[in-house]
Amino acid sequence: MERKVIDFINKVLPIPKIEDSKNVLCVLPHPDDGEIGAGGTIAKLKSKGAKVSYVLVTDGGAGIRGKSREETREIRKKEQESAAKILNVDEIEWLGYPDGGNYDIENVKKDLSRYFERIKPDLVMTVDPFLPYECHPDHKICGLAVAQTLLLNFNDSVPMAFFFTAYPNQFVCVEKYRDKKFEAISAHKSQISPEIVGIYKKYFEVKGEAYGKKVGCKYAEGFKVLLPMMLHAFEETLWV
Ligand SMILES: [Zn+2]
């Protein structure tokens, strides 16, 4: 892509800064995605006085081997509530779709429209449905449902910030919040053993430091932040 064209786009359509947001809605496929993908940023936004709400698309019921869906659902709901409390999240709503992708994206979009109308977010945070090789149906549905709802049904000037992204274009310094992030991740005990938390810590340390270097700090989380119009007939989106 021509550098000149990208520079022009960045000038005429500046991407809003995540940290300037005051009312953030996180739309999440499963309990634990918010904490793993954006826990430091969520904690930081809260400490800066923003309102942060969660909408959980699925019930997480497929997440524990050897336990029934009903039992799993209850355990994961409690874990998500504890994790959200650690990050100071204001409210959690559950859409209750069955974990595993066996539902219609159109219904998710209708539900999301209702929440968008009520909450009127100035930023929506979710998983990147365009992550190469992403195969999990809940992640594809969740990210796409957000993008399509913002583009077609709600307010096409509200930006979205994708995490779990291969194409970050914005980095949030969260050095002061990394302990909170890992405390919140650790609340998902049924999913993440202390050993796995240790591996995550190392992984995020290497990545967080590399991302931090790009913006002059020690530790950062990366996002692809886009305006909804960039998700339709917009040839430069990969490079903005
Ligand atoms: Zn997930």
- Whether the CB-CB separation of 84 and 54 falls below 8 Å is answered with yes
Q: How far, in Å, is the centroid of ligand 1 from the Cα of 90?
A: 21
The pLDDT confidence band at residue 212, using thresholds 50, 70 and 90, is very high
Q: How far, in Å, is the centroid of ligand 1 from the Cα of 140?
A: 10
pTM for the structure as a whole: 0.96
Q: How far, in Å, is the centroid of ligand 1 from the Cα of 193?
A: 16
pLDDT the model gives residue 65 = 84
Sheet holding 23-28, edge to edge: 91-97, 51-58, 23-28, 123-127, 160-163, 220-226, 170-173
In one-letter notation, the amino acid at residue 101 is G
Tell me the average pLDDT across 214-221. 97
Pairwise CA distance, residues 90 & 130, whole Å = 28
Q: How far, in Å, is the centroid of ligand 1 from the Cα of 164?
A: 10
Q: What is the pLDDT of residues 139-192, one digit of tens each?
A: 999 999 999 999 998 777 899 999 999 999 999 999 999 999 999 999 999 999
The pLDDT confidence band at residue 203, using thresholds 50, 70 and 90, is very high
Which domains does the chain carry?
A: 3-239 (3.40.50.10320)
* Sequence-separated (6 or more) residues with CB below 8 Å from residue 138: 29, 30, 57, 58, 97, 99, 100, 101
